[in-house]
Amino acid sequence: MSNLLKDKYFVRRASCVVAIGVLLSCGGKKKAEVAPTPEQLPPTAPLPTAGLAGQRVALTPLALVAAEDTLHWDSIIGDRRATLDKSDSIIAALLSARAPEVTWVGPAELRRTAHRAAGIATDPDQLGTPFLRADKLVEVPDPLRYQLRTLVGLIGGRYAMIPAGLVYRRRPGRTDATAELSIVMVDTRVGRIGWRTVARGDGEDPWTALTKAVKSLTPGLP
């Protein structure tokens, strides 16, 4: 009887080892990540200009620009400072032209304001805003919350429109690139994000793609 039980034990153990091996081999295979098609991406939310009409809204400088290596755009956007400045110029010009009901206080004016209030206001280029791209972030933590409230208060406003990051990607089967501009609006008095979206636009070069992305924030206009 003892030998029979012993034989059954080894058979059962061997079966378990085989089963575990199969599970591990299956679990070890990772599914290839497939980039979403344009149709699968969430739509761009239009600017909430109705609630901002007549107000002074700070438009902070962009601090993050990145592009996939497959685009080979190092020679175009490799100069970080020049790239950020040109992106800021495109964003500010288009928002001012396409949403004139809002008094946009752009990066250049914010820098002058911060310079005049040295020791009180933080340099707009040092705000550290890229982490605001996180989808589930609602409360703006300190010190950024305090920095935004102080800077926006100096211009006589309440809200800050923050381009939190610009990323260029190549979609499967496409020869051009897609600009993805993550942008959020912060109510600086309460330190909360009240609106966010990712604006997208396609183009053969960074500036055409960014221009189309910003234009997507104001649908209905050419």
Q: Average model confidence (pLDDT) for the chain?
A: 87
pLDDT tops 70 at residue 20: no
**How far apart, in Å, are the Cα atoms of 177 and each of 45, 49, 155, 168, 222?**
21, 28, 37, 6, 21
More confident residue, 172 or 124: 124
Q: Which domains does the chain possess?
A: 38-215 (3.40.50)
pLDDT at 175: 84
139 secondary structure, DSSP code: B
Residue 39 banded pLDDT, cuts 50, 70, 90: low
pTM of the model: 0.81
Q: What is the Cα Rg of the chain in Å? A: 25
The two structure tokens encoding residue 42: 């969430």
Burial 45-73 (b: 16+ CB within 10 A, else e): ebbebeebeeebbbbbbbbbbebeeebeb
Q: What is the pLDDT of residues 126-175, one digit of tens each?
A: 999 999 999 999 999 999 999 999 999 999 999 999 999 999 999 888 88
Mean pLDDT of 13-36: 45
- Return phi, psi of residue 28, to 5°: -75, -15
